[in-house]
Amino acid sequence: MGIPYEILSSDENEVLKQINTCFDFISKNSASYALLVRKGTFDSYSSKNIQKKNTELMSREEAIEEFIKVSGKDEIFFSTTGMASRELYEIRDKYKMNHSHDFLTVGSMGHTSHIALEKPDKKITVIDGDDAVLMHMGALPAIGSKKINNFRHIVLNNVAHDSVGGQPTIAQHINLCEIARASGYQYCYKVKSKEELIKVLSDSQKYSVFIEVLVRKGARKDLGRPKTSPIETKIALMRNLL
């Protein structure tokens, strides 16, 4: 792309020189300059305020597991980019299920609910993230206005960009359920415990439903990655839908 760059040093004094070089170049040339960061260069980051508030909440993986437990054998899942898709994949492995009912969105943050298809003969579940919804909120009225009766939209809200460092989002300051209700979703729920989630899922198999689940930040350190490529995942789902 023709962008000058340096690989960020792990030496703090050298980093300061690199930052100065970067800003000197930008100031003189009104052009981009990249600093590339190797994995492991920075220490891990933890937002103490958010973590303290969320310690009693379910993990994202625990919540996804509850959805899988109550889903029908033909239900189709679309999961958002990042940890949620990795967790869905491993839960399928845990229960010795195949992966042909899942579309794992790689990249395309915020577009999972757009990708989810209308199939009148299939129940559709979208597993989304709080900031993914905020990023492309136009999806909510687009879905709600259609009054689809076989669509379940799950938003796992940990008020953080969890897959890329844990930076806080604004999801703690807005009411996603009210936005979904105003967008045309027939049923909207907000839950913050496993007991509440199980009750919502067992009391109602309603679709055209929006469920916001408050979950804590973080993922287990040994969380794996899908063993199939995105193309293989897509083809398996397409064959299943034929």
Give the pTM.
0.80
Task: Provide the pLDDT confidence category of residue 167 given band limits of 50, 70 and 90.
Answer: confident
Mean pLDDT of 142-151: 87
Angle between the 194-203 and 60-70 helix axes, to the nearest 10 degrees?
20
**Per-residue confidence (pLDDT) for residue 49, from 0 to 100:** 54
- Side-chain-side CA neighbours of 5 within 13 Å: the count stands at 9
The per-residue pLDDT for 112 is: 92
Q: Which is more confident, 201 or 86?
A: 86
**pLDDT at position 51:** 47
Say what the pLDDT of residue 67 is: 92
Which domains can be identified in the chain, with CATH numbers?
Answer: 5-36 (no CATH), 53-241 (3.40.50.970)
Question: Does residue 164 carry a pLDDT above 90?
Answer: no
* Residue partners of 17: CB distance under 8 A and separation at least 6: none
pLDDT of residue 118: 74
168-177 pLDDT per residue, tens: 888 888 999 9
Q: pLDDT above 90 covers what percent of the chain? A: 60
More confident residue, 137 or 202: 137
Which pLDDT belongs to residue 32? Answer: 96
CA atoms within 13 A on the CB side of 148: 23
- Report the C-alpha gap between 48 and 26 in whole angstroms: 35
- How far is it, in rounded angstroms, from Cα 103 to Cα 2? 35
pLDDT digits (tens, 9 = 90+) for 38-60: 988 888 766 555 544 567 899 99
* Tokens, residue 88: 């869905």
Residue 107 C-beta-side C-alpha neighbours within 13 Å: 1
